[in-house]
Amino acid sequence: MITEEATAPSDEAFHIERRGIGHVSDRERWATPAGLFGMWAGAIVNFEILIYGAVLMSFGFDFVQAVIAIVLGNLTYFLVGLASLQGPEAGTTTFTINRAAYGPNGNRLVALFNWLTQVGFETEGIALVVLAGIALATKAGVHAGTPLKVALILGAAAVQLVLPLLGHATIQKTLRVLLVPFVALFIVLAALTVHKERINDYIHGASWQTFMAGLAFVIIVSGLGWTENGNDYSRYIPRSASRRAIVGWVFAGTALPSILLMLLGATVATYVPNAGGNPVTNFPHAFPGWFLVPFLVVSILQLFAINSLDLYSSGLTLQALGLRVARWQAVLIDTIVCCGLTAYAIFDSSFNKLLTDFVDCVIVWIGPWTAIFLVDWWLRRYRYVASELQRTEEGLYWRIGGIHWPAIIAQVLGSVAAIMALATPFYVSPISSATGGADFSVFMGIGVAGVTYYLLAAREVRREVLIQDELNRFIAREAGLPEDEA
C-alpha cells in the first residue's frame, strides 16, 4: 500500500505543508545544499548548545579536557552529513528510507525509539522556554506560582506548534533569517563573559574513565543525536546535487557553531557555579543584569527554533510508525504529549538529572541504528527504488512478514553491547566496571551493530541491488527518462 497520495501539494513557505512521508517528485525538488547551512546553523546557534558545554564541566573536567571532548564529540556531525545523502536519492524521510534496512514492519520498532527521542528533545527545549519565561516574570516582579507555570507551558506549546505545522520550507527560511540576530547575541555574550574566565582554577582534571563518559555525552547531544533528522530536510534537494556539497554544508552549519558555543558554555562554567544545573537561573550570573532580558528573550526564540526541527521530524516519524494521520495531525499529537512531559520536568525533576537520564537512554539505540542505516546504504551502492520504499505491504523490501531480521538482530546486539559498556550514576555495566568506570557505550553500540549487520545482510542486500537496478531501469523506460533519472 502507498502511504501518501501522489497528488500531495509541493512544499511552499508560510503555507501548511500537507505532504508527510510521501515521495517528493523531481519537479518539486527546489532546495540546495547551501540552504542546509542556514537552516542547521539557525538551529544550532542556540542557548541549548551553550548549556551542554556548561553541563560538561560538571563531569569534573579541566578546561583542556573539555576542549578535547567538545572538538572530538562534534566531529560526529559528519555523520549527520552522511545521513542527509539518502533523502535526495529516495525523495522521502529517514524512517521511510529505513524500511529498506529493517523492512516495513521491522522499521516500526526503531521508528518508535526515534519518536520517543524526538519528543524527549522537544520536552527539554520547551522546559527551558518555560524556565526562561519564569525568570522573565520574576524579573518583572510577578510570582511564579503554579497558574503561571501552567500558562507558560500551554503558551510555549502553542507557539512551538507554528513552524512545524507550516513545514519544511517555512522552517528553512525562518531559521536562515534568525541566524543573524542569534549570532549577534552570542558575540555580545562572549564579549561580556570571556574575560571573567577562571580556566586556571581547573587544572586537576578528571580521570580518563570520566573523560570517556563526558565524551559520550557530547557525542549524543551533538552529531549522533541528529543523524535521524538529516533526510527529513534534504529530501527536497535534487538527486543531481553534489554529495560532497551536502555533507560539507551540513557539517559547516552544525559542527562549527556547536564547538564555539560549547566552548563558551564551558568557559562560563569555570566561574559560575553549577551553570548547567538550573541553566536559566544560574547562567545569567555570568553577565550584567541589564543583559538578562534581551538574553532570555532571544534565547526563547532560539529554543523555539531548534525545537521546530524535532517536532517536525517526530510528526513524520509517527506516520512512518503506521499511524494513519495527516502530518498536521501528527504535529498536534506530539505537541500534546510534550505538554504533559514538560509539566513533569518543571514540577517534579531537576533539569540536569532529566537531561543526563534522557541522554543515557538515547545512547542505547541511536548508535546501533546509525551504523545499520549507513552500512545498508553503502551495501546498496547508495541507491534505492523510491516507489518500493512507499510500500507497506508486499514489495522489494518486504522480506519475511515485513521484517528484515538481520537488521533487528544487529539492532538488539548493538543495543545490548551499548548497555554492557554504559556508565551512569545508577548503573555501572560489566565493561565499565572492569575498566574503572569508563563509558564505551557509543563505540560498542556502533561497532557491534555495524559489523553484525554487514556479516548477516551483505550477501542478501547485494542480491537486492541487482533487483533495484533492474526496477529503476524499468521505471525509467516507462517514464521515457534516461536510466540514471529513474
pLDDT digits (tens, 9 = 90+) for 154-175: 999 999 999 999 999 999 999 9
As given in the structure block, the three cell numbers for residue 281 are: 537561573
pLDDT of 9 > 70? The answer is no
Q: What is the pLDDT of residue 291?
A: 93
Q: What is the distance in angstroms between the CA of the first residue and the CA of the last residue of the chain?
A: 20
Q: Which long-range contacts (CB under 8 A, 24 or more apart) does 446-449 make?
A: 446/367, 446/368, 446/370, 446/371, 446/414, 447/371, 447/417, 448/368, 448/410, 448/413, 448/414, 448/416, 448/417, 449/367, 449/368, 449/369, 449/371, 449/372, 449/410, 449/411, 449/413, 449/414, 449/415, 449/417
Query: What confidence tier does 352 reach under pLDDT thresholds 50, 70, 90?
Result: low
When pLDDT is averaged across residues 399-412 and rounded to a whole number, the result is 97
Q: What is the pLDDT of residue 5?
A: 42
d(CA 11, CA 8): 9
Q: CB within 8 A of 66, min separation 6: which ones?
A: 53, 56, 57, 214, 263, 266
From the number of C-beta atoms within 10 Å of its C-beta (0-12, 13-18, 19+), residue 146 rates as exposed
| Nearest CA among 339, 332, 291 for reference residue 139 | 291
When pLDDT is averaged across residues 122-134 and rounded to a whole number, the result is 89
d(CA 183, CA 42): 9
pLDDT of 24 > 50? The answer is yes
User: Which H/E stretch holds residue 459?
Assistant: helix 441-479
pLDDT of 359 > 80? The answer is no
d(CA 322, CA 96): 10
When pLDDT is averaged across residues 375-394 and rounded to a whole number, the result is 95
pLDDT tens by residue, 415-460: 999 999 998 767 788 998 899 889 999 999 999 999 999 999 999 9
Which of helix, strand or coil describes residue 64?
helix
Query: What confidence tier does 476 reach under pLDDT thresholds 50, 70, 90?
Result: confident
pLDDT of 111 > 60? The answer is yes
Among the ranges given (77-81, 84-88, 254-258, 357-361), the one the predictor scored with the smallest mean pLDDT = 357-361
Q: What is the pLDDT of residue 7?
A: 45
Q: What is the pLDDT of residue 298?
A: 92
| Nearest CA among 325, 306, 302, 305 for reference residue 315 | 325
Q: Between 121 and 70, whose confidence is greater?
A: 70
When pLDDT is averaged across residues 40-68 and rounded to a whole number, the result is 93
Strand residue runs (E) in 35-117: none
Question: Under a CB-based contact definition with an 8 Å cutoff, are residues 336 and 158 in contact?
Answer: no
Which of helix, strand or coil describes residue 403?
strand
As given in the structure block, the three cell numbers for residue 433 are: 566496571
Q: CB within 8 A of 329, min separation 6: which ones?
A: none
Question: Under a CB-based contact definition with an 8 Å cutoff, are residues 3 and 22 in contact?
Answer: yes
Q: What is the pLDDT of residue 81?
A: 98
As given in the structure block, the three cell numbers for residue 401 are: 512478514
When pLDDT is averaged across residues 244-258 and rounded to a whole number, the result is 98
Among the ranges given (147-151, 176-180, 322-326, 421-425), the one the predictor scored with the smallest mean pLDDT = 421-425
Q: What is the pLDDT of residue 4?
A: 42
d(CA 157, CA 231): 25
Q: CB within 8 A of 236, min separation 6: which ones?
A: 11, 24, 28, 29, 30, 31, 168, 169
pLDDT tens by residue, 197-237: 988 888 778 899 999 999 999 999 999 999 999 999 999 99
Among the ranges given (1-10, 37-46, 56-65), the one the predictor scored with the smallest mean pLDDT = 1-10
Q: What is the pLDDT of residue 6?
A: 42
| Nearest CA among 414, 413, 404 for reference residue 376 | 404
Q: Which fold has domain 26-351?
A: Hydantoin permease (1.10.4160)
Q: Report helix angle 405-420 to 441-479, nearest 10.
A: 160
pTM for the model stands at 0.92
Residue 403 pairs in a beta bridge with 400
Q: What is the pLDDT of residue 124?
A: 84
When pLDDT is averaged across residues 373-378 and rounded to a whole number, the result is 98
Phi (first) and psi of residue 21, to 5 degrees:
-95, 10
Q: What is the mean pLDDT of the chain?
A: 90
Query: What confidence tier does 2 reach under pLDDT thresholds 50, 70, 90?
Result: very low
193, 200, 281, 391, 426 from 196: Cα distances, Å: 6, 11, 19, 58, 35
Q: Between 145 and 351, whose confidence is greater?
A: 145
Residues of the chain above pLDDT 70, percent: 95
When pLDDT is averaged across residues 176-189 and rounded to a whole number, the result is 93
Q: CB within 8 A of 470, min separation 6: which ones?
A: none
Question: Under a CB-based contact definition with an 8 Å cutoff, are residues 42 and 305 in contact?
Answer: yes
d(CA 145, CA 277): 21
When pLDDT is averaged across residues 126-153 and rounded to a whole number, the result is 91
Please report, as a single letter, which amino acid is at residue 228. E
pLDDT tens by residue, 287-305: 898 999 999 999 999 999 9
Phi (first) and psi of residue 428, to 5 degrees:
-115, 115
pLDDT of 8 > 80? The answer is no
- The DSSP annotation for 214-253 comes to HHHHHHHHTTGGGGGGHHHHHTTS-TTS-HHHHHHHHHHH
Q: Taking every pair of C-alpha atoms in the chain, what is the biggest distance, in angstroms?
A: 71
Q: Between 5 and 385, whose confidence is greater?
A: 385
Q: Report helix angle 351-379 to 441-479, nearest 10.
A: 50
State the number of CA atoms in the 13 A half-sphere of 143 facing the CB. Answer: 3
When pLDDT is averaged across residues 50-60 and rounded to a whole number, the result is 91
